[in-house]
């Protein structure tokens, strides 16, 4: 799974809240990881002082030579 960082920004564009999602534990895939990220963005968007949200995806690539 990739890691996601969801950021809530104030009216000046400064990040005031960061949520890092590094694991989603479920026995079988019940909820897609992008749905979880979207839910966190929606939650942050409703918080006082936050005017915009964004999400970044980070993936680790391992190359064997």
Kindly write down the DSSP assignment for every residue of 4-58, as one continuous string: EEEEEE-TTS-EEEEEEE-----SS--S-HHHHHHHHHHHHHTSTT--EEEEEEE
**What pLDDT does residue 1 have?**
75
pLDDT tens-digit readout, 7-53: 999 999 999 999 999 999 999 989 999 999 999 999 999 999 999 99
The whole model's pTM is what?
0.83
The size of the chain, in residues, is 65
**What pLDDT does residue 2 have?**
87
Token pair belonging to 36: 């979880």
Map residue 62 onto helix, strand or coil.
coil
Enclosing domain of residue 8: 3-58
In a domain, 63, yes or no: no
Tally of domains in the chain: 1
């Amino acid at each position: 799974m990739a890691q996601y960082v969801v950021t809530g920004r104030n009216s000046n564009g400064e990040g005031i809240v960061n949520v890092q999602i590094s694991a989603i534990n479920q026995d079988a895939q019940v909820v897609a990881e992008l749905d979880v990220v979207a839910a966190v963005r929606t939650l942050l968007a409703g918080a006082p002082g936050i005017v915009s949200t964004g999400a970044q995806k980070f993936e680790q690539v391992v190359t064997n030579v």
